[in-house]
Amino acid sequence: MKIAVCVKQIPEGSRRIDPESKRLDRSGEGALNPFDAHAVEEALRLKDAGGEGEIVLVSMGPAKAQDALRKALAMGADRAVLVSDDGAAGADLVATSSVLAKALERESAELVLFGQQAGDSDGAVLPAAVADRLRLPVVSQAAEVTQADGKLTVKRQTEFGYDVIEAPLPAVIAVSDAINEPRYPSLKGIMGAKSKPQETLSLADLGLDALESRTEVYALNDPPARGDSRKIDDDGNAAQAIVDFLAEKRLV
Amino acid sequence: MSTLVFLEHHGNELLKSSLGVLSKAASLGDDHLAGVVAGANVRALAEEAGKFGAAKVYVAEAAQLEAPLPQPRVDVLAQLVRDGGFDTVLFANSVLAADVAAGLAARLGAGLNWDLVDIVRDDGKLVGKRPALQDSVYVDVGWTSEPRIALFRPGSFDPSATGGSAKLEDLQVALENFSTTARMVDQAHEESEGPSIEDADVIVAGGRGLGGPENFTLVEDLAKALGGAVGATRAVVDAGWYPYSTQVGQTGKTVSPKLYIACGISGAIQHKVGMQSSGVIVAINKDPNAPIFEFSDLGVVGDVHEVVPELTALVKARKGS
């Protein structure tokens, strides 16, 4: 089975928003979005279970995102495609999903995997947007994925418990971070990754013009301040103190 | 401005978070505010929504809409936005709603802002308030075109019943072929007593400091006394003490109840991002240096095994009086 895994490079360590562009500062060191490592791991497991196949990483980001892709290649993915273009900087959901859908169409994988969310924007919306553009079934929050007879069986976690959903291939699946424990790349994997194909595409290569985002950022503000904070030691009356506090706030 | 609110239901009830968004939309004073309910046998739910400010509620009923799957709902909403001329579509976040909103944004080429905690009208323009980077910065966000789509963090708004009644309108549902290829084959729902964690005004959450899974009864008893729901940290969910559906934090739920009581929770950033927008935070922890105290309204340095049962007894006594 050919599996495409959509991955993202996110800024390493503490993150900041550039007050000028009002965009996330992506100038520093980058890391593989930790949620995406679960998607890569699941692709490797499905490939192992099926006995054969190819795992291609598909990403959009600055040129140096190839570093993060190399980490996923070291885990065992076969090759990587990065869409990198100045015209794609600051792309929102609508713009990003159109780019990824184009890049994925080019691959025609039987299965497209995503991590559950981006660790920088905390968005969990890309998989369903891409699936709609590809006109493929989507299941998000997958805690278990099995494949048999051209069909996937997915255990989905929701607010209310577990659902079991069947979807025919090709399909788009966003895996939850509870699905597996991503492997650490072996030394052999790290060395081998250096010779795996890493392609970089422009928007024009995908037949896309400049992107148009439909959302914008007006201002950055400090979070609302919390009121006075009180801290007390339990002298045997702490429970009463809590009740008094809750009564004062009209919460009991 | 004309706004459509996606009204999600579970079992025979509309989610409180959806009704909260509806009430918020009503408070913005739209010319035309409608809700949409999609499912099987959902007319009664649609009527209920009229009490929360919807002048009109669209009812989409079809066998393919019975299971809580996103893609047929995208078809329904896309058709409704096109035909009804809605310029704004609002959702309370959930696993289902996020997929519906995202699919709709792609289908309509519309802007989607997510994880909003508020929305205001500023000089005629809609501005969303979005906490970002572990809630360390609040970003004012907007849309450059219509329709505008927004997902709100659950608990951002209280539903307020105004006692109105909605005009119901049945929709003829036309579904895309690819939208109905995913199929629900089983649903194993954890039926718990009391409100769900998304809907609760009060959440009592437990962490490692409880000492073991058996001590979650302390948390459950307090939640029950307060009419609230139980939450858990990632550490205890990973340890198998409590189900994932109760996990609060970056890889679980993001909640903002009126009251959050953290029992034996250190307050790691993973957890903090899921609950720091709660109205009032009370923390009980025996470690005086626990980070949770830095963002609690009331911190108690003490033993959860002593303080929590006593607190439960006091709350019960107070409610009984």
Residues B169 and B206 in one domain: no
Per-residue model confidence (pLDDT) at position B193: 66
pLDDT of residue A193: 97
If you average pLDDT over residues B150-178, what whole number do you get?
Answer: 93
User: Is residue B258 in a domain?
Assistant: yes
Contacts of A222 in chain B (CB under 8 A): 137-138
If you average pLDDT over residues A183-187, what whole number do you get?
A: 95
Nearest by CB to residue B113, choosing from A215, A223, A224, is A215
Displacement of CA B310 from its chain's centroid (Å): 30
pLDDT band at A137 (very low <50, low <70, confident <90, very high): very high
B157 and B31 in one domain? Answer: yes
In a domain, B193, yes or no: no
Instruction: State CA B69 to chain mean position distance.
Output: 17
Task: Please answer whether residues B25 and B33 qualify as being in contact, where contact means their C-beta atoms are separated by less than 8 angstroms.
Answer: yes
Report the C-alpha gap between A163 and A63 in whole angstroms: 39
pLDDT number for residue A143: 93
For residue B191, tell me if it sits in a domain.
no
Beta strands A9-11 and A30-32: pairing type? Answer: antiparallel
Q: What residues are paired with A31 via a beta bridge?
A: A10
- On whether any CB of chain B is under 8 Å from the CB of A188, the answer is no
Q: What residue type is assigned to position A149 of the chain? A: D
Q: What is the pLDDT of residue B191?
A: 63
- Over residues B226-244, the pLDDT tens digits come to 999 999 999 999 899 998 8
Q: Which of B74, B137, B311 sits opposite A242 (nearest CB)?
A: B311
Whether A46 and A183 have beta carbons less than 8 Å apart is answered as no
Angle (nearest 5°) at CA B21 between B118 and B74: 110
- B145 DSSP assignment: S
pLDDT of residue A159: 83
Q: Model confidence at B143, in pLDDT bands (50, 70, 90)?
A: very high
In eight-state DSSP terms, residue A61 is: S
> Nearest CA of chain B to the CA of A108: how many Å?
16
Rounded to 10°, the helix A93-107/A126-134 angle is 50
Considering chain A, what is the average pLDDT of its residues? 94
Q: What is the mean pLDDT of residues B46-75?
A: 95
pLDDT at residue B29, rounded to an integer: 81
β-pair partners for A21:
none
Q: Number of residue pairs across A and B with CB atoms under 8 Å? A: 271
What integer is the mean pLDDT of A44-72?
95
Task: Please report whether residue B20 resides in a domain.
Answer: yes
More confident site: A107 or A119: A107
Task: Report the pLDDT averaged over residues B16-43.
Answer: 92
Domain boundary residue among B120, B147, B180? B180
- C-alpha angle B281-B277-B19 in degrees, rounded to nearest 5: 110
Which of A 118-177 lie inside 8 A of B, CB atoms? 121-133, 135-141, 143, 153, 156-168, 171, 176-177
Whether residue B220 sits in one domain with residue B275: yes
Domain containing residue B230 = 202-320
**Sign of the C-alpha dihedral computed for residues B38, B43, B45 and B49 taken in this order:** positive
Query: Is the per-residue pLDDT at B321 higher than 60?
Result: no
Three-state SS at A58: strand
Is B185 among the domain residues? Answer: no
Of A217-226, B33-42, B62-71, the one with minimum mean pLDDT is: A217-226
Listed in sequence order, the residues at least 6 apart from A123 whose beta carbon sits closer than 8 Å to its beta carbon are A93, A117, B114, B115
Residue B192 has pLDDT above 80, yes or no: no
| Cα B199 to Cα B58: distance, rounded to the nearest angstrom | 23
Residue A195 contacts B where some CB pair is shorter than 8 Å? no
pLDDT at A26 over 80: yes
Q: Report yes or no: B216 and B109 within 8 Å, Cβ to Cβ.
A: no
Q: Answer yes or no: do B145 and B245 share one domain.
A: no
Q: Which residue has the higher pLDDT, B220 or B163?
A: B220
Question: B91: pLDDT confidence band, cut at 50, 70 and 90?
Answer: very high
How far does the CA of residue A160 sit from the closest CA of chain B (Å)? 5
The whole-number average pLDDT for the span A54-73 is 96
Instruction: Using a CB–CB cutoff of 8 Å, tell me whether A52 touches chain B.
Output: no
> Are residues B207 and B282 in contact, defined by beta-carbon separation less than 8 angstroms?
no
- Same structural domain, B163 and B26: yes
Q: When comparing pLDDT for A30 and B38, which is higher?
A: B38
The number of domains in chain B is: 2
Say if residue B190's pLDDT is above 70: no
Rounded to an integer, the average pLDDT of B264-293 is 93
Q: Establish if B105 belongs to a structural domain.
A: yes
pLDDT grade, residue A36 (50/70/90)? very high
Mutate to test the interface with A, among B158, B184, B187 (most CBs of A within 10 A): B187
B111 and B229 in a single domain? The answer is no
Is the domain of B144 the same as that of B87?
yes
Give the pLDDT mean for A151-166: 92
| Whether residues B66 and B12 fall in one domain | yes
Answer yes or no: CATH 3.40.50.620 is held by domain A2-206: yes
pLDDT at res. B251: 79
User: What pLDDT does residue B223 have?
Assistant: 96
Specify if B96 maps to a domain: yes
The overall average pLDDT reported for chain B is: 93
What residues of chain A lie within 8 A of the CB of B73, using their CB? none
| ipTM of model | 0.93
Contact between A44 and A3 under an 8 Å Cβ cutoff? The reply is: no
What is the DSSP annotation of A149-200? TTEEEEEEEETTEEEEEEEESSEEEEE-TTS--PPPPPHHHHHHHTTS-EEE
CATH of the domain at B245: 3.40.50.1220
Shared domain check, B162 and B222: no
Task: Check pLDDT > 90 for residue A24.
Answer: no
* pLDDT score for B65: 97
DSSP label at B319? H
Picking from B102, B280, B297, the nearest residue to A128 by CB comes out as B102
